[in-house]
Amino acid sequence: MPSAVPTSKDRITKFTNCRLVIGNDLVEQDLWVSSATGKIVRSQEVFYGENVVPDITIDLKGKIVAPGLIDVQLNGAFGFNFSQIPEDPSTYGKTLRQVNKRLIQTGVTSYLPTLTSEKIEVYHQALPFLGPSGTHRIAEDGSESLGAHVEGPFINPTKNGIHKVGNIIPAHSINDLETCYLSSHLNPTLDPLTGTLRPPIIKKITAAPEVANMMSLIPEITSRGIIYSIGHTEATYEEASLAVASGATMITHLFNAMRPLHHRNPGVFGVLGLAESLPRPYFGIIADGIHLHPTSIKIAFNAHPEGFILVTDAMHLVGLEDGVYEWTNGERIIKVGAKLILEGTVDKIAGSSITLIECVTNFLNWGGVSIPAALKAVTSTPAAMLGMSAVKGNLVSDADADLVVIEEEIDGNGWRNLRIDQVWKFGTKVWDREL
């Protein structure tokens, strides 16, 4: 692993006159990063111990510096659907690389590319491209995959959302998962160059714990370093509690595609209760103003702020004009602004077309929270859920120097907007609004 103490050959950048997002505060403090190691530098040790001075000092004039944004549920972007294999499958990887270079301009420096419930050949063809991609630490590659998220096909067909029911299957044993996803995508592999274990290609699995034998498979899934997330489910409160006790640590898009909160059976939402003896899971929230009412979002945040994660659940229509677009299985999606509806239905929501920083801005205004609290939901909290707090989502020494420079704007109606001005990946600036 690269060291945060630079050598004489490193290019050191010092950010000054800025406010750093650290915990729940905006701290007026300098930040040093290295483009050679790709890390945040231990500035005190370097300046006083090694007598190193920065190669470049950037005066940010009071702007905010936050860790790079992390989206743990992204289905595609800029016309590319991760779940759709092109007619020429050899173009999948090339198109994905192009998407990564555009996605980072939105402030998302890391993400989990998400596959919905598809035929098994889609998983076999797509997953090899979607595993962790930051091994070579090349800033110009754009947004970095932290591993694939498979949202299905082991979900409840009564809570399918826009997932095609014909693709949904039950899991009776771990062999069913290995047949669907391939065992090579579910297990750590040995790096032939370093001899170290590489994490599985799949980082997170969303499944309904109450269907078939899935509940008993949760410990086997998590033992492989894969996060089990409860989602697209009819689980009762008791079943959701058992899933958490079995190792589930995440809930996929809370409230959506699950049994609703009821005063006699709180369902999945109930496991967020403070009185629970079990550890409370993290949970995803889509703050696009379509999937959830703002008050529902505030209720969820207040129930368990430490587990609150904003996600886009964005489809491939992010960045495209309004219109009617092809989706998988011959179906089509109608895009009107940020709203996506499955063609032929009245109001069946088909994911979102919002960016992650727009979700943060919405939550900042709807929730009445501070800027650090809103940004934690896309930085330190998802990093903690992924078990990556030491390298992602935090402005601490030795962490990856994935950064966004943010300007706060307030309009005449008091709406607070967070605007991405710069994006840095591994200590190198990869996008600047002014260039």
Residues 374, 92 contacting (CB under 8 angstroms): no
Annotated catalytic residue 313: yes
Q: Of the residues 313, 322, 398, 402, which is catalytic?
A: 313
The total number of residues shown for the chain amounts to 435
Q: Residue 342 CB: number of other CB atoms within 10 A?
A: 18
* Tally of helices (H runs) and strands (E runs) in the chain: 11, 26
Distance CA 408, CA 372 (A): 12
- Residue 360 to residue 21: CA distance in whole angstroms: 14
Rounded distance between C-alpha atoms, residue 12 and residue 428, angstroms: 10
Closest CA to 401 of 13, 9, 10, 1: 13
Report the distance separating Cα 381 and Cα 130, nearest Å. Answer: 22
Q: How many CB atoms lie within 10 A of CB 14?
A: 18
CA distance 250 to 26: 28
- Beta-bridge partners for 25: 22
Residues 6+ apart with CB under 8 A from 179: 120
Distance CA 21, CA 395 (A): 7
Residue 78's nearest CA partner among 98, 59, 56 is 98
387-393, long-range: CB within 8 Å, 24+ apart, which pairs? Answer: 388/146, 392/67, 392/68, 392/70, 392/110, 392/146, 393/67, 393/70
Q: Which alpha helices (DSSP H) does 57-187 contain, by range?
A: 92-103, 120-130, 174-181, 183-186
Q: Which residues are catalytic?
A: 313
